Amino acid sequence: MDDAVTARWWRRNAIALAAVAVLLPTTAVVVGGNEWWNANQADPVFPTTVGPDTTVEFGGATWGPARWGTVAADTASDAPAGARAVVIEVPVDPRGKILSCGSPMLRETGGENRRWINALADVDWSYDAQSSCPSDEAVPFTIEVPYLVPDDATGPFDLELALTDQLPGYLVLRLP
């Protein structure tokens, strides 16, 4: 092919080549983003992090501040060797809205970066205490959740709360 034929071919196909150069990456981003969203929309992915001793508005309610609660002697006696029972408390004002949240997860953000789910089945715990959001009331309440934490856990610690209507966003409350 001579140079004149090549130059004419590029000019004739310039618009189509530009369209391919734009549409190919755009298609990849849209398809990939859609697949990612479908795979992660029900998972906590985007945190809203709040410092210790801080109150935050999240999901139409007021949360916090999160704090370490007092562990009853009978609850602490149920802790296995090498672990301690702790209680995390989070005051919540739903401001007239019924909230849907599960029991929060405790995370060690330093040290070994471990996570713990509640120890409701492992310690002698009062089932009158709210360990998640009540599904039938829209009045202020306090989430109180026991955890069994290894003695070597050094912290700092975060409490992670997911509200079903806020996913993939979730709330991270730093503990003092």
Pairing label, strands 67-69, 61-63? unpaired
Neighbours of 156 (CB within 10 A): 13
Mean predicted lDDT score pLDDT of the chain: 90
Integer CA distances (angstroms), 171 to 94, 106, 121, in order: 15, 12, 24
Q: Structure tokens of 82?
A: 């090498």
Q: What integer pLDDT is reported at residue 111 of this predicted model?
A: 83
The tens digit of pLDDT for each residue in 4-45 reads 888 899 999 999 999 999 999 998 888 888 787 777 777 888
Q: How far apart are CA 141 and CA 131, in angstroms?
A: 10
Q: Which segments of 37-162 are extended strands (E)?
A: 46-50, 56-58, 61-63, 67-69, 83-93, 105-108, 115-116, 141-150, 157-161
Q: What is the mean predicted confidence (pLDDT) over 51-57?
A: 96
Q: Structure tokens of 162?
A: 């997911």
Q: What integer pLDDT is reported at residue 4 of this predicted model?
A: 83
Q: What is the mean predicted confidence (pLDDT) over 75-96?
A: 89
